[in-house]
Amino acid sequence: GIWGWQDVADQVIMVVRNIKRAMVEYHDILWDIDYAKTWEDAFKLIPNLYQERPPVDDFLAWRDERVFDEIKWYGWFIDYYMEGGLMRDMFTNKITTPEHWNMLMLPTAYTIEQLRYDTVVGNDTVVDPSYDPNCALITNGCVPVKIISAEKLVDHELGPAVGLEIADVVDGKQGMNVIAPEARGCIWKELIINKKGLKTFIDRYGDEDDYNFTRGHLESMVGELDRLIDKYGGNEWNQKKNAL
């Protein structure tokens, strides 16, 4: 991917979606940008974002080809930030080498077989932990100072409080001019209820439930969520506020 912030970021706020909805929306965005393979091509199609929903048949074809792998990427995304950029193979969850990591960061350049952990690293290889050097470009590293649920942020009951949490995290930071506390609830209402801001995933017309998954897909999603819950609910993490 593109590390677009370079060295100007001070902290990370991680936004996480419901895993099932994340799969649907990821495909929606890919469809919006015509499955662009480069940043330049994707950027040209930004005006297409969140305008409409793809044909169901298009989603089903993508689902059957990609979703099992994307479920792994979903869990890897959470691990990456929670562990401060620790290099892991998303398919096995094993700590990996910088060489293998660099290949994984270019997924369209290699086949799944070429990216296999046992092929590039070796299942019996002892690997010393390495961290993504991009995390050193962020003042406070890659570990998120706050984790936000996208669903809660746009929920009409829970959303205002989540919006205040985001404001609290960025208030007082260098280069950030945050509106006074008494006006922050109004900002959330204008953006989410009155839709005064840019389009987002909640602006697509149609029913997201039209896009379904097989039993195997759903079981894989549950399995990945169970892995994450077991990991971040364990003793190693129970004193860290982001894992609570």
Higher pLDDT, 125 or 7: 125
2 pLDDT exceeds 90? no
1 pLDDT exceeds 80? no
220 touches 213 (CB < 8 A): no
Would you give the end-to-end CA distance of the chain in angstroms?
29
DSSP string for 230-244? HHHTSTTTTT-GGG-
Where does residue 182 fall: left (phi above 0), alpha (psi -120 to 50 degrees), or beta otherwise?
Answer: alpha
- Which residue type is seen at 18? N
* Angle CA 145–164–82, to nearest 5: 20
Average pLDDT of the segment spanning 217-224: 98
pLDDT (tens digit per residue) in 110-141:
999 999 999 999 999 999 999 999 999 998 89
Average pLDDT, the chain: 94
Where does residue 88 fall: left (phi above 0), alpha (psi -120 to 50 degrees), or beta otherwise?
Answer: beta
pLDDT over 70 for what percent of the chain? 99
Question: pTM for this one?
Answer: 0.92
Higher pLDDT, 9 or 45: 45
Q: How many residues does the chain have?
A: 244
pLDDT over 90 for what percent of the chain? 82
Note the pLDDT of residue 4. Answer: 77
Q: What is the DSSP letter of 121?
A: T
37 pLDDT exceeds 90? no
133 touches 84 (CB < 8 A): no
Shortest CA distance to 107 belongs to which of 97, 116, 95? 116
244 pLDDT exceeds 70? no
Average pLDDT of the segment spanning 87-98: 97
Higher pLDDT, 175 or 122: 122
Model confidence at 5, pLDDT cuts 50, 70, 90, reads confident
